Amino acid sequence: MKTNDEFFQINRQSWNRRVESHFKSKFYDVEGFKAGKTSLNSVELEALGNVQGKSLLHLQCHFGQDTLSWAREGAIVTGVDLSDAAIDTAKSLADELNIDARFINANIYDIPKHIDEKFDIIFTSYGTICWLPDLDKWAGLIEQYLKPGGTFLIVEFHPFIQVWDYENYDKIVFPYFFQEEPFEEVTKGTYTDGGEDVEIHDIEWGHSPSETLTALINAGLSIRSFQEYPFSSYDCFPGMVEIEKGKYVVERFGQLVPHMYSIKATKE
């Protein structure tokens, strides 16, 4: 059986292979972003409100669009990601746009090797915790790096949507609850346009909202809100339709089931 370090290396390589096609895709609309368009959605913007002058740590930031969007909102930003190709691209994008931001290439669990300050806000979103085997350790790091009175926000795809066979949504192939043995899959293509020939070897762990909430509570954080949403902010799963601007649902399910959730917590 592979170790977690070996799993992380496999995922790092897969995300490195994704970066170029993601950067060029219509899905990420980098040209629109360069012209001033935010990559953030109303869910996270409304949840955090005014971030002017606040220090913000963005966990699993990919190539930094959301990190840089928070900088445009006035935050003092640091982005961290496992993929060195993503971080190199984030740094180049920040330099090109003359946006002040710090980017660190690191496994989330290795943050103590790279960062020693605390933050007003810690943020993570959309397809992040499925790459992590240990949410207790993750939550402990969030508590460690939040300032007293600081805020943590996660906006995440609901595992209900993530467990299905994406061809017909008629059978469950991914675990809803955590299992020590991760789900391993080798496929071609990614969730954006333009990446159809990218070979992806993914290692993922299922985490329910209750597991995520419990990890944060056990780490000493106070839960301020837990929300479920009958839509996705992104058209990133097969079989989705747009029901209104910026809101997508799996057509088979409509708005009858949760597509995303968010948790907002504070450190007392």
Q: Which pLDDT tens digit goes with each residue over 24-54?
A: 999 999 999 999 999 999 999 999 999 999 9
DSSP state of 182: P
Which parts of the chain are beta strand (E)?
55-59, 76-81, 101-105, 119-125, 146-157, 183-188, 199-204, 222-229, 240-244, 247-250, 260-266
What phi and psi values does residue 202 have, to the nearest 5 degrees? -110, 145
| Residue 2 confidence (pLDDT) | 85
pLDDT band for 195, please (50, 70, 90 cuts). Answer: confident
Q: Does 152 have pLDDT greater than 80? A: yes
Region 123-145: mean pLDDT is: 97
DSSP state of 113: G
Q: Does 1 have pLDDT greater than 80? A: no
Region 169-187: mean pLDDT is: 92
Which secondary-structure segment (H or E) carries 97?
Answer: helix 84-97
Q: Does 170 have pLDDT greater than 90? A: yes
Q: Which domain holds residue 142?
A: 4-266
Query: In the chain, pLDDT over 90 holds for what percent of residues?
Result: 93
Residue 6: what residue type? E
| Residue 196 confidence (pLDDT) | 87
pTM of the entire predicted model: 0.96
Query: In the chain, pLDDT over 70 holds for what percent of residues?
Result: 100
Number of domain units in the chain: 1
Q: What's the mean per-residue pLDDT of the chain?
A: 96
Please give the C-alpha separations between residue 69 and each of 13, 101, 145, in angstroms, as whole numbers: 26, 10, 21
Quick one: tokens of 207? 């985490």
How far is residue 207's CA from residue 179's CA, in Å, rounded to a whole number? 8
Region 67-93: mean pLDDT is: 98
Nearest to 93 by CA among 54, 57, 66: 66
What's the longest Cα–Cα distance across the chain?
A: 48
Q: Does 87 have pLDDT greater than 80? A: yes
Nearest to 213 by CA among 159, 170, 145: 159
Contact (CB, 8 A) for 91 and 17 = no
Please give the C-alpha separations between residue 146 and each of 9, 47, 207, in angstroms, as whole numbers: 28, 17, 23
Q: Kindly report the CATH number assigned to the domain that includes residue 257.
A: 3.40.50.150
